[in-house]
């Protein structure tokens, strides 16, 4: 089963180009240690939520923009080996201080449970983080598999859902806090890849109006009121 490390990072808006360059250099190093793919993005359409949202997840400042990113691995073992190797790679330290507040970056490890589509490199991504009861994994997979064709039929390139199984607690922010997850829940990290924002913007109302979405199993196997999400432009995809 493939595996991803997922991240949400608060970045100074004025440091976009510096962040992109830092990400490109770091991605090359990360791939040398077994990663298949490294993606970094820049928030463009990140709505405020009533209870929780992407901005609150990383305590975003008024002069900051969120980045939704991930690293893909063949499996959990490859990811764990990467984790052991990367901490001793002096090239990362040589990059200097990253252009973001590390203490407010949230990160975690996720087992991929749905992965549909493939194709050209995306230009835009919809990212989601949501709490799901541990006992509803099979129900959630069934729901995601039923929804995937709808996204793909309306122009999406790829749809991925990943189940949190290594979610470290942070001092002030982390994935469980971001999704207001309860003790009997884990966190799902998910994204939909699009060719560009224009395609995504055209497709969104069509996806919502598609009769297949209305026929999805109910009630949903998660609390949609605690799902956080946003739209992000691709900065780095290696």
Q: What domains appear along the chain, each with residue ranges and CATH number?
A: 3-237 (3.30.70.100)
Q: What is the pLDDT of residue 29?
A: 96
* Positions of the chain with pLDDT under 70: none
Structure tokens given for 194: 């699009």
- Taking alpha carbons only, the member of 95, 52, 43, 38 closest to residue 223 is 52
Residue 86 burial by CB count (10 A; 0-12/13-18/19+): exposed, middle or buried? middle
Which has the closest alpha carbon to 121: 190, 196, 222? 196
- Please tell me the pTM assigned to this model: 0.96
* pLDDT at residue number 1: 84
82 exposure class (CB count in 10 Å sphere: 0-12, 13-18, 19+): buried
Sorted by sequence, the CB contacts under 8 Å of residue 93 that are 6+ apart come out as none
Alpha helix positions (H), 72-209 = 76-86, 90-94, 137-153, 175-178, 197-209
How much is the pLDDT for 93? Answer: 83
| β-bridge partners, 15 | none
Please report the pLDDT score of residue 118 as a whole number.
84
pLDDT digit string, tens, across residues 167-206: 999 999 999 999 999 999 999 999 999 999 999 999 999 9
| Predicted pLDDT of residue 187 | 99
């Amino acid at each position: 089963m493939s595996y991803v490390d997922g991240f949400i990072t608060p970045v100074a808006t004025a440091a976009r180009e510096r962040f992109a360059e830092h990400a490109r250099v770091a991605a090359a190093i990360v791939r040398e240690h077994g990663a298949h793919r490294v993606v970094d993005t820049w928030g463009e359409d990140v709505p405020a939520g009533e209870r929780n949202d992407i901005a609150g997840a990383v305590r975003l400042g008024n002069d900051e923009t969120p980045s939704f990113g991930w690293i893909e691995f063949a499996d959990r073992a490859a990811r764990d080996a990467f984790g052991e190797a990367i901490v001793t790679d002096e090239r990362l330290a040589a990059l200097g201080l990253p252009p973001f507040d590390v203490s407010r970056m949230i990160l975690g490890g996720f087992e991929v449970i749905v992965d549909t589509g493939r194709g050209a490199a995306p230009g835009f991504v919809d990212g989601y983080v949501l709490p799901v009861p541990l006992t509803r994994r099979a129900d959630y997979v069934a729901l995601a598999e039923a929804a995937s064709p709808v996204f793909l039929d309306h122009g999406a390139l790829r749809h991925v859902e990943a189940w949190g199984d290594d979610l470290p607690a942070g001092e002030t922010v982390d994935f469980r806090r971001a999704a207001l997850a309860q003790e009997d829940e884990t966190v799902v990290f998910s994204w939909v890849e699009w060719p560009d924002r224009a395609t995504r913007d055209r497709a969104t109302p069509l996806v919502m109006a598609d009769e297949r979405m209305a026929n999805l199993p109910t009630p949903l196997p998660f609390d949609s009121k605690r799902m956080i999400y946003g739209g992000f432009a691709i900065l780095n995809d290696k």
